[in-house]
Amino acid sequence: MLKPQASSTRDLVNLDGTWRFALVKDDLEKEAPWTGALPGSLEAPVPASYNDVFIDPAIHNHVGWVSYQRRVIVPRNWTSDRYFVRVSAATHEGRVYVNDKLVAEHIGGYTPFDAEVTSLVKPGQEFRLTITVNNELTNTTIPPGLLEVQADGQKKQKYFHDFYNYSGLARSVWLYSVPAASSVEDVTVIPDVQGSTGIINYDVQVAGDKSADVHVTVLDEDDKVVGEAKGAKGEVKIDNAKLWQPGAAYLYQFRAEIRDSAGAVQDSYSVATGIRTVEVKGTQFLINGKPFYFTGFGRHEDTAVRGKGHDSAYMVHDFQLMDWIGANSFRTSHYPYAEEVMEFADRQGIVVIDETPAVGLNLGIASGFFSTKKMATWSPEYCNEQTREAHANSIRELVARDKNHACVVLWSISNEPSSNEDGAREYFAPLVKVARDADPAKRPICFINVMFAKFDLCLISDMFDVLCLNRYYGWYEHTGDLVAAEAAFEAEMLGWAKKYPDKPMMMTEYGADTLSGLRSWNAGPWSEEFQIAYYDMCHRVHDKIPAIIGEQVWNFADFQTSANHIFRVDGNKKGIFTRDRKPKAIAAVLKKRWDKINVDQDYPGSKK
Ligand code: GCB
């Protein structure tokens, strides 16, 4: 799915700002908030999660629908165009109404959708745009949750993932046009390298008049044409191509044009394209044929007040911090991030593990940590066939959105599912196929393994290309006892390496809650000293296991969690930075290690 863009043939109107806002207190259909002006005087910022913007607990804790509304004018010169409202994210379900009419609905809170407006409003006319957003999580949504209706009729939301269920319009809303006669509907670019030649295999999908000619041009960073081709499918060769490298991005513009018989451009759309290869070979992860060691983070889209709202100041600042500390990569834990973040990672040469929102598919963790009643994860009551269909859809939508990004080197189809529980294999086998079929570039795939599903218990690891492990030895296991933790951690890693001698292993999470400023002579848990000792211990083990191809610590920054996670004080504190991005003492220690790793692995972006 193409991100809307302005070009010589397309216009783009940004609809961000403050929108009228109201809770839907009862039934969406009964209240029909879209049939008139919204009640009350609240206004909510877009993009932002609404939960922490207002100080009313009823809004913070609301379970159900909310409405956003504003007036929009279709530009008067859009007479030979089709036009759409693009909602970049409505968490978790969104409906778009143009005046009184429902024009689009979408389930899945972190991927975009379109509502076509063309036949409903004429160029130059104004319309009332209402977007209703629902934050409920059930056993058939991804992520899943359980919804309870209490005796007083109030809904109560339970969910089993460890981050706050921020809701609303957290990413931009756009109105955009495409030429009506014929337009570029989708573009797929698959880069390859042969010697010093870069190859872009491409496929351009056309909407409207399909007999129109497709012409593609590749421009370098100086806007010089370096390759051309004709036809909707084909390849472009670039002599002496500059490669996209970790830490040293180089992006070509792949421009797809639709031309009429006289050669006039009818539509034009450009995709930033990095030329690089990705391959898993034995226990190595190769980027451009060279072994790559991941350093970096599991992260969250999370800041005070705006929740999961995309914010370019935080985005740039976070990338600055990652660059400073020597992080060459991150995982979009635990959902697809804003498209702007993916584009920025492309431009900054940061390597990304791109994850679906399939988190919380584990009632073993839930019953242990949240004292819920024991229930089987893979069962009609929780993750059933409908859940799997929603999960498959989340994989398809993620790949459709992000398939052209050079930064994406690995797809993660789920975080910490109950992969040691009966039924896991039956649930996941079809999803592995969905993921492999979805990506035309055939990137490797992984899922993120939970500490309960050790090498002798996990039922699904053999189906994936990289063994991604979240381990908390010294924190959740052998709490505070780093000697016992080190022995157990090493023993487990050796077990994985023995069982899967041909697969790379990657630490996708390891960490310890740390209260910034809490100092301790005896390095007790929660202190800054403990966090340092904990990471030193983990790194001793990583350095002993050759099959480990990377380490992403949990978490980049402290982040907000659900109020019923009673063991969290104002959120998860495993950040290397605080929620407002101040470094904890560990930051300098990690920087020292990662700078050295990056220099040693000697790719162009490493700091020398
Ligand atoms: C995990 C989860 C992550 C949690 C983390 C923790 O394994 O993947 O979402 O936040 O542990 O801190 O408990």
- Quick one: pLDDT band at residue 199, thresholds 50, 70, 90? very high
**Is 153:63 a contact under the CB 8 Å cutoff?**
no
**3-class SS at 268?**
strand
Query: Comparing C-alpha atoms, which of 132, 179, 106 is closest to residue 20?
Result: 132
Q: What is the pLDDT of residue 367?
A: 66
Query: Comparing C-alpha atoms, which of 176, 173, 133 is closest to residue 46?
Result: 173
- Quick one: pLDDT band at residue 310, thresholds 50, 70, 90? very high
pTM of the predicted structure, to 2 decimals: 0.98
Q: Is residue 554 in contact with ligand 1, taking CB distance under 6 Å?
A: yes
Query: Comparing C-alpha atoms, which of 469, 137, 170 is closest to residue 337?
Result: 170
Q: Is residue 415 in contact with ligand 1, taking CB distance under 6 Å?
A: yes
Q: d(Cα 205, Cα 279) in Å, to the nearest integer?
A: 27
pLDDT above 60: residue 379 = yes
**Is 126:136 a contact under the CB 8 Å cutoff?**
no
Q: What is the pLDDT of residue 567?
A: 86
- Token duo for residue 391: 């999960």
Query: Comparing C-alpha atoms, which of 553, 592, 254 is closest to residue 403?
Result: 254
Q: d(Cα 593, Cα 18) in Å, to the nearest integer?
A: 44
Q: From the centroid of its chain, how far is CA 375?
A: 29
Q: What is the pLDDT of residue 211?
A: 86
Q: What is the pLDDT of residue 564?
A: 78
Model confidence over 27-74: pLDDT tens digits? 999 999 999 999 999 999 999 999 999 999 999 999 999 999 999 999
b/e burial code for range 163-190 (CB count within 10 A of at least 16 → b)? bbbbbbbbbbbbbbbbbbbbbbebbbbb
- Token duo for residue 520: 């301790």
What is the bridge-based pairing of β-strands 126-134 and 213-219? unpaired
Q: What is the pLDDT of residue 453?
A: 98
Catalytic residue of the set 339, 416, 492, 528:
416
**Is 242:200 a contact under the CB 8 Å cutoff?**
no
Instruction: Check residues 237 and 152 and name the one with the higher pLDDT.
Output: 237
**Is 332:355 a contact under the CB 8 Å cutoff?**
yes
pLDDT above 80: residue 569 = yes
Q: Is 343 a catalytic residue?
A: no
Q: Whose Cα sits closest to atom 3 in ligand 1?
A: 162
Q: Which of 131-135, 374-378, 548-552 has the lowest mean pLDDT?
A: 374-378
CA torsion sign for 332, 337, 341, 342 is: positive
Find the mean pLDDT for residues 573-602.
96
Q: What is the pLDDT of residue 604?
A: 78
Q: d(Cα 103, Cα 96) in Å, to the nearest integer?
A: 6
Q: Which of 208-217, 310-319, 463-472 has the lowest mean pLDDT?
A: 208-217
Q: What is the pLDDT of residue 563?
A: 81
What does the longest C-alpha to C-alpha distance in the chain come to? 79
Q: What is the pLDDT of residue 19?
A: 98
Find the mean pLDDT for residues 400-427.
98
Instruction: Show the domains of the chain with their CATH numbers.
Output: 12-179 (2.60.120.260), 182-273 (2.60.40.10), 278-601 (3.20.20.80)
Q: What is the pLDDT of residue 566?
A: 81
Q: What is the pLDDT of residue 368?
A: 61
Q: Is 416 a catalytic residue?
A: yes
- Token duo for residue 124: 């130059």
Sheet of 65-73, strand order: 43-46, 17-23, 65-73, 126-134, 93-98, 101-107
Q: d(Cα 444, Cα 433) in Å, to the nearest integer?
A: 12
Output the average pLDDT for the chain. Answer: 96
For ligand 1, the distance from its centroid to the CA atom of residue 537, given in whole angstroms, is 19
- What is the distance in angstroms between the CA of the first residue and the CA of the last residue of the chain? 39
Query: Comparing C-alpha atoms, which of 113, 129, 112 is closest to residue 121?
Result: 129
pLDDT above 80: residue 581 = yes
Q: Is residue 513 in contact with ligand 1, taking CB distance under 6 Å?
A: no
Q: d(Cα 407, Cα 351) in Å, to the nearest integer?
A: 5
Q: What is the pLDDT of residue 534?
A: 98
Q: d(Cα 23, Cα 39) in Å, to the nearest integer?
A: 9
Q: d(Cα 396, Cα 406) in Å, to the nearest integer?
A: 18
Query: Comparing C-alpha atoms, which of 548, 550, 520 is closest to residue 534?
Result: 520
Q: What is the pLDDT of residue 81?
A: 98
Catalytic residue of the set 301, 355, 397, 509:
509
Q: What is the pLDDT of residue 153?
A: 86
- Quick one: pLDDT band at residue 606, thresholds 50, 70, 90? confident
- Quick one: pLDDT band at residue 369, thresholds 50, 70, 90? low
Residue 401, CA atoms < 13 Å, CB-side half-sphere: 28
Find the mean pLDDT for residues 183-207.
98
**Is 572:518 a contact under the CB 8 Å cutoff?**
no
What secondary structure does DSSP assign to 214-238, as a single string? EEEEEE-TTS-EEEEEESSEEEEEE
Residue 377, CA atoms < 13 Å, CB-side half-sphere: 25
Q: d(Cα 480, Cα 473) in Å, to the nearest integer?
A: 9
Q: What is the pLDDT of residue 373?
A: 65
For ligand 1, the distance from its centroid to the CA atom of residue 571, given in whole angstroms, is 12
- Quick one: pLDDT band at residue 210, thresholds 50, 70, 90? confident
Q: What is the DSSP letter of 579?
A: T
Model confidence over 341-361: pLDDT tens digits? 999 999 999 999 999 999 999
Strand partners, 191: 200
- Quick one: pLDDT band at residue 370, thresholds 50, 70, 90? low
Model confidence over 159-174: pLDDT tens digits? 999 999 999 999 999 9
Find the mean pLDDT for residues 132-142.
97
Q: Whose Cα sits closest to atom 7 in ligand 1?
A: 470
Model confidence over 95-122: pLDDT tens digits? 999 999 999 999 999 999 999 999 999 9
Element (H, E) at 298: strand 294-298
470, 510, 565, 579: residue to mutate for ligand 1 pocket, most atoms within 8 A of CB: 470
CA torsion sign for 586, 315, 86, 45 is: positive
